[in-house]
Amino acid sequence: MRTRFDRELAHLQEAMEEIGQLCKDTISESTDTLFTGNYHEAEDTINLHHRIHKCERDIEDTCLRLLMEQQPVATDLRVISASLKAVYDLERIGEIAADIAELVLNEHLSIANDMLNLKSMSQIATGMVNDAVTALAGKNEDLAKAVIAREDQVDESFDKAKAFLIDNFSKEGNPEYLINMMMVAKYFEKIGDHAVNIAKWSLFVTTGKAGK
């Protein structure tokens, strides 16, 4: 019975790592399509989100099955509970990346410029997601805390984007375009928020308490 439980727990960890990689791919592709205007890549990003959604459902089923059939305790219980919570944030990250791709498709943004420093925000957000998932998989308390500390970076970048929008809205020949870019900046900030949530669930695994 324990061998089966260990096998399923290992499968859960692999599934979490897979959905984490898919999320990183969606962020990367959505950023690329924003600056290349590649509609095929935008459509691929949306398809990736569909895969993420399916992974989320499979992980939820695995977690619930382990909880009901195996009745885990101590660290194992925290791993399963944290995975069940964190997978929601991962699915939302995929959905947000797909929203960026849909914005490119529906608003015909063509090739965006980087007046709001979106590439930097994307890199920060992707790094936070990567480290949060790694921390959760490896029960790495220090890495989880580092992710939480980096929330200020993405928030600061978003504040700078807002300030730029306020200063340049009346000067911009196409204000609707600038508003769309601001929406993308908000999307990246939200991805950072979800990465922090995942990091906090990682701390829950190692300490029994969610991080602050």
pLDDT digits (tens, 9 = 90+) for 111-126: 566 788 888 999 999 9
In Å, how far are 19, 24, 70, 97, 188 from 139, measured between CA atoms? Answer: 17, 20, 21, 26, 25
pLDDT given at position 212 = 59
The H helix count followed by the E strand count for the chain is 7, 0
User: Domain of 14: which CATH number?
Assistant: 1.20.58.220
Cβ burial of 93 (10 Å; 0-12, 13-18, 19+) is buried
Kindly state whether residue 70 falls inside one of the protein's structural domains. Answer: yes
Arithmetic mean of pLDDT, 142-154: 95
pLDDT given at position 156 = 94
Give the pLDDT confidence of 72-121 residue by residue, as tens digits.
Answer: 888 899 999 999 999 999 999 999 999 999 988 887 665 566 788 888 99
The CA-based diameter of the chain, rounded to the nearest angstrom, is: 68
Tell me how many domains the chain contains.
Answer: 1
What's the rounded Cα separation, in Å, for the pair 66 and 100? 35
pLDDT at residue 31 greater than cutoff 70? yes
pLDDT at residue 58 greater than cutoff 70? yes
Kindly state whether residue 212 falls inside one of the protein's structural domains. Answer: no
Average pLDDT in the chain: 90
In Å, how far are 4, 76, 189, 192 from 153, measured between CA atoms? Answer: 43, 33, 10, 9
pTM of the model: 0.91
What's the rounded Cα separation, in Å, for the pair 15 and 154? 27
What's the rounded Cα separation, in Å, for the pair 207 and 204? 5
150: containing domain: 2-207
pLDDT at residue 177 greater than cutoff 70? yes
